[in-house]
Amino acid sequence: MAGVTRTAVVSFRLGHPDGVSVEAAKWAAALTDLGHQVVTVAGAGPVDRLVPGLAIDGPDPPSSKELDQALDDADLVVVENMCSLPLNRAAAVAVAVALRGRPAVLHHHDLPWQRPPFVELPGFPPTDPAWAHVTVNHRSRLELADRGIAATTIPNCFDVDVPPGDRERARRTLGLPADRRLLVQPTRAIARKNLPASLRVADAIGAVFWLVGPAEDGYEPELARLLARARVPVLRGLAEGISMADAYAAGDAVALPSTWEGFGNPSVESAVHRRPLAIGSYPVVREIAAYGFRWFSADDPVRLREWLDRPDPALLELNHRIARRHFSLASLRRRLAGLLETIGLAVVAG
């Protein structure tokens, strides 16, 4: 295909702190580096083309006219989890119908049978001969293969050269003395993030617990009950002017005790920011651990406490090298370039 390729990135919401939005932004940047003109389309968020009917809570699905106006000038459409985990089924169906016979990449972060509310949902993910499927882990790729859908795995990737955050300023903003331990959970508060385990880790290592993300999916009442019984001081949310790099820098350790993740970005982000990680045994974690990362089990926080008492920088440097070798944004660009060639879209820059 000659000239600049216009690519539309579409999802329920974009530009938010959730994992799908974060990874969609990385894909958009990588595609731009590869010479694509990228436009974002979603039902919510700071996007180029807002289509309210695409939102998770949209009362009515978008009309075919609305989708035509939003997508018709795109040579390629990247669908971010919308047709993978149909949180708004009518909107997902409308997008699938609009894309029949058109070049599209369905980027699967989650699949319906991996989440209890959607296990018995037929027809998802949809497929078409003109579409390519990409998963963020091999488990999902194999599960798609079992259902007759071929897919490529491109793991989530990260800026491994991000400048260190400002530890002193962040801790000063939080009101923490220099010698007070801080356990950071850089996620939203929802049931599968397993906040009770994080609080147990914080208690075991003698730390203040910092939950960075907001409560979603109706979890706020349960979170309030949980925090009311917490045996450690708890901080919530990012203060104005504090970045995620600052949050990692402020922490002495990171918690990701999830029971399920499509990938689990803090597994690699903690390595990028050179912080020890207490992690849960969610199924996909074994794939990421196979690269050689050294983590601590969230079920055995004594090991983490012992390490914090006598830190070994070699562990942090090992994890950082693995992240750089296998999960950099440069590797994302290479993988996307290969994917584009397989679907007949030439790379024109990069």
pLDDT at position 23: 96
Residue-wise pLDDT for 13-72, tens only, equals 999 888 899 999 999 999 999 999 999 999 999 999 999 999 999 889 999 999 999 999
Q: How confident is the model at residue 347 (pLDDT cuts 50, 70, 90)?
A: low
Reported as a single tens digit per residue, the pLDDT across 301-332 is 999 999 999 999 999 999 999 999 999 999 99
Average pLDDT of the chain to the nearest whole number: 94
Q: Using the predicted structure, report yes or no on whether residue 175 has a pLDDT greater than 80.
A: yes
Is 71 within 8 Å of 100 (Cβ atoms)? no
Q: Which domains does the chain have, with CATH numbers?
A: 6-157+328-342 (3.40.50.2000), 167-326 (3.40.50.2000)
121-140 pLDDT tens trace = 888 999 999 999 999 999 99
Where residue 343 falls among pLDDT bands split at 50, 70, 90?
confident
Number of Cβ atoms within 10 Å of the Cβ of 339: 15
Across the range 218-231, mean pLDDT stands at 96
Say what percent of the chain tops pLDDT 70: 98
| Residue-level pLDDT at 349 | 46
Neighbours of 19 (CB within 10 A): 21
Q: Report the run of H or E that residue 326 belongs to, with start and end.
A: helix 313-326
Residue of 121, 129, 80 whose CA lies nearest to 102? 129
d(CA 215, CA 220): 5
pLDDT tens track for 81-101:
999 999 999 999 999 999 999
User: What's the mean pLDDT in 155-184?
Assistant: 96
pLDDT at residue 120 in the model: 77
Task: Give one DSSP letter per residue of 98-160, joined into a string.
Answer: HTTTS-EEEEES--GGGSGGGTT-TT-S---TTEEEEESSHHHHHHHHHTT---EE----B-T
- pTM attached to this predicted model: 0.90
Please, are residues 103 and 95 in contact by the beta-carbon 8 Å criterion? no
The answer on pLDDT for 1 being more than 50 is no
- In 169-256, the DSSP E strands lie at 182-185, 208-211, 234-236, 253-256
Residue type, position 300, single letter: D
Beta-carbon-side half-sphere exposure of residue 218 (alpha carbons within 13 Å): 0
Q: How far apart are CA 203 and CA 280, in angstroms?
A: 16
DSSP notation for 27-82: HHHHHHHTT-EEEEEEEESS-SEE-GGGSTT-SSPPPHHHHHHHHTT-SEEEEEST
pLDDT score, position 102? 95
Residue 117 pLDDT class (50, 70, 90 cuts):
confident
200-216: pLDDT as tens digits? 999 999 999 999 999 98
Instruction: Return the pLDDT at 346.
Output: 56
Beta-sheet strand order (sheet of 182-185): 234-236, 208-211, 182-185, 253-256, 277-279, 296-297
Write phi, then psi, for 297 (nearest 5 degrees): -75, 135
